[in-house]
A and B are shown apart, each in its own frame.
Chain A
């Protein structure tokens, strides 16, 4: 069974703090990892993709990947109320860049002003 696990939350952080979102996956051969943000009633939108071990930064967002531990995380610095959403971790377990994604159930983030 190919699985992606996330804490469902809710994760509540004050405005300006760092929000840390975590995800583990079951298939060691996975190559492509994605973080999507989903506002209530909306479709998922891509935040970050990561393929290599280590950190990848884009603005206030940093994705971290550790393939040995089968662990991927997303850090959001200087959190804003507009970051309040559900964050979905998605993994391509097909060993390549194409094919369906396996999604976690998402972590709901609430940023309090």
Chain B
């Protein structure tokens, strides 16, 4: 079956612009996660959606970052007034409700802020 998809695969923007990153999870997966991976660094948790529950936003680095999930499926991560330190790979993952809880990752969006 189809895996997690993300778009765009690459995004170059100018400092101060807003960007939107999209994630389409595996069909039937109720949980969706956003992570960020800066060059040479580990994955940093950003936000977590589970079904209709309020999202866990504890990892968002500033109020310039926000995310929504429409209809329990597709999610959009928005970064307002981008800064150069926002340059990273933004990874989306999804998982099903099970004891396993394994997260499956999309290919990522590479964001470069000039």
Number of A-B contacts (CB under 8 A): 56
Q: Which of A46, A96, A99 contacts B104 (CB 8 A)?
A: A46
Nearest CB in chain A: distance from B6 CB, A: 9
A92-104 vs B, CB cutoff 8 Å, 1 = contact: the mask equals 1000111111111
Q: In the complex, what distance in Å separates the CA atom of A92 from the CA atom of B105?
A: 16
Nearest CB in chain A: distance from B30 CB, A: 9
Q: In the complex, what distance in Å separates the CA atom of A99 from the CA atom of B95?
A: 10
**Size category, A interface:** 20 to 34
Nearest CB in chain B: distance from A26 CB, A: 14
> Is A54 interfacial (CB 8 A cutoff)?
no
Chain A contacts of B33 at CB under 8 A? 100-101
Could you list 10 A-B pairs, sorted by A, with CB under 8 Å? Answer: A34-B103, A42-B107, A88-B42, A97-B99, A97-B101, A98-B31, A98-B95, A100-B45, A101-B103, A103-B42
